[in-house]
Structure 1
Amino acid sequence: MTRSTGAQSGTALAESPADGPMVRVEDLHRSYGTGAAAVHALRGVSFEIPRGELVALKGRSGSGKTTLLNLVGGLDTPDSGRIAVGGTDLSGLGEDGLLGLRRDRIGFIFQSFGLIPILTAAENVGVPMRLRGTDPGEREDRVALLLSLVGLGDHAQQRPGELSGGQQQRVAIARALANRPALMIADEPTGQLDAETGLAVMQLLRAVVRSEGVTLLVATHDPQLLGFADRVLELSDGHIVEHA
């Protein structure tokens, strides 16, 4: 069980050793709106995620799961508290720094897949490497490897509309791995899939964590999928109420 130790100085957070936790969240607060109408999405959330673990985040709709994922992924900023990813304090990064973090060190998987309809599966997987300026030959080799990893080596030239929901999510997983991220963040990745396909996708994510050595933080409402996690965090009304 991970126990929070309270907020530390920004310097201490930024100088976490390479073998320290992949994610450290300390006393995180995030609200939307002001006054009596304010919604307190997160109220003093603290936890750590060791490197190479699959951690599931559960909680009912509106409990703050997506808000927390967006903050850890550098897509949003907290009202107070600190977040470190791989020893880097996000509060010390400007917009360019956060962009680089998201491009190079974090992979995102969304419930809606987020694929570009006019591009083939291979082209979708290659997008992050194009943005990074990866050599075309290296990019093509990496795309082929990743599509093979997710079981879609024979579907490289198909567009999203020609693929099933489960296949589209597999393409999205391959794309999230394109730039060899240290951390992957998945928001309800099986939410649009039937139970059998969702189970297969979670089995794939579990295998990816082991084979690629990445850390995965995944939000899910499906109790069946929690068994794949090394640890489960439960959010309720903006608080962590359970570490299992």
Structure 2
Amino acid sequence: MSRRDVVMTGAGGVGGVPAAQPGEVVRVSGVSRTFGRGERAVHAVRDVSFTAHQGELVAVRGRSGAGKTTLLNMVGGLDRPDTGQVVVAGHDVTSAGEAELLRLRRGTVGFVFQTFGLVPILSAAENVGVPLRLAQVPAAEREERVAVLLELVGLGGHMAQRPYELSGGQQQRVAVARALANEPDLLIADEPTGQLDSETGRSIMDLLRAVVHARGMTALVATHDPALIDLADRVLVLRDGRLVEG
């Protein structure tokens, strides 16, 4: 389902999935996640509900242990809630099988992690091209799209360099380009500036905001850095797994 499909979905829904409202890309309804049992149980996320819309950058804020990563993992299909429902671009993530979740993660959702996650032996261009190879995009189209994406993140002149030849900020820009390769509806970034200095971190957030607004995507960005919050369109605040603001 494309971003246009999300915008155009009307009332009624399909297959038990509530119909998206105009522009709605993410709907989280009453989601909870607990790890462990009894006295040692950790209630990572407690009855959280929110929506996110096309062209919106939503920051998820909270201290370490507040539940940010767990929440983002459930939205992206990397984890399943114990209760509640997650719908992304019309897909019911919570009831999806493994094959459907794989397709979701390869096409509908793009991920950016704190640790960059680049393949050390591959060049910047080859790293960005990995999702396109998995999607069996023809070589000529793949090379063209990779070049455009690296230009977009300001690294057009660094296509042949490997991660160890790039700064931390440049590596994260490559990771952003890779996450955008298959034109996802939703970009999930978990502490994307956590390993960067404040100036470089702000430049990455500026880049994410520019890409989201220019491409009409949606982004959920987890951060505990107050200096970056003002770059978001909206802020969700988690405290002890509960949504207390947003």
Normalised by the length of structure 2, the TM-score is 0.93
Is the deviation greater in 183-192 or in 208-217? 208-217
Q: Supply the AA of the counterpart residue of 1:184.
A: L
Hey, what does 2:111 align to over in structure 1?
108
Query: Is 1:147–1:153's contact at 8 Å kept on the other side of the alignment?
Result: yes
Seen in structure 2, the aligned counterparts of structure 1 residues 74 and 236 have a Cα distance that, compared at 3 Å, is same
Q: Supply the AA of the counterpart residue of 2:149.
A: L
Q: Supply the AA of the counterpart residue of 2:94.
A: S
Structure 2 counterparts to residues 76-225 of structure 1, below 5 A = 76-225=79-228
* 1:26, distance to aligned residue in structure 2 (A): 0.5
Hey, what does 1:55 align to over in structure 2?
58
Cα distance in 1 for residues equivalent to 2:61 and 2:143: 37
Q: Supply the AA of the counterpart residue of 1:214.
A: M
Q: Supply the AA of the counterpart residue of 1:156.
A: M
CA deviation map 1:10-60 (0-9, x unaligned): 968625247341110011010000111110001100111111100000000
Pick aligned residue for 1:23 from 22, 26, 29 = 26
Query: Is 1:18–1:86's contact at 8 Å kept on the other side of the alignment?
Result: no
CA deviation map 1:183-224 (0-9, x unaligned): 000000000000110111111111101112110000011111
Q: Supply the AA of the counterpart residue of 2:245.
A: E
Q: CA RMSD in A?
A: 1.5
| Structure 1 stretches lacking a partner, 5+ long | 1-8
| Structure 2 stretches lacking a partner, 5+ long | 1-11
Cα distance in 1 for residues equivalent to 2:155 and 2:81: 38
Pick aligned residue for 1:240 from 215, 239, 243 = 243
Tell me the SS of whatever aligns to 2:206: helix
CA deviation map 1:105-145 (0-9, x unaligned): 10000000000000000000000000011111100000000
- The total of aligned residue pairs comes to 235
Is the deviation greater in 159-168 or in 35-44? 35-44
* 1:235, distance to aligned residue in structure 2 (A): 0.3
Q: Supply the AA of the counterpart residue of 2:202.
A: L
CA deviation map 1:162-199 (0-9, x unaligned): 00000000000000000000000000000000011011
Q: Supply the AA of the counterpart residue of 2:73.
A: N
Seen in structure 2, the aligned counterparts of structure 1 residues 53 and 126 have a Cα distance that, compared at 3 Å, is same
Tell me the SS of whatever aligns to 2:48: strand
Seen in structure 2, the aligned counterparts of structure 1 residues 17 and 64 have a Cα distance that, compared at 3 Å, is closer
Query: Is 2:59–2:229's contact at 8 Å kept on the other side of the alignment?
Result: yes
1:41 aligns with 2:41: no
Query: Is 2:66–2:239's contact at 8 Å kept on the other side of the alignment?
Result: yes
Hey, what does 2:8 align to over in structure 1?
none
Percent identity at matched positions?
62
Cα distance in 1 for residues equivalent to 2:69 and 2:16: 24
Cα distance in 2 for residues equivalent to 1:193 and 1:93: 35
Cα distance in 2 for residues equivalent to 1:198 and 1:233: 20
Cα distance in 1 for residues equivalent to 2:240 and 2:15: 29
Seen in structure 2, the aligned counterparts of structure 1 residues 168 and 13 have a Cα distance that, compared at 3 Å, is farther
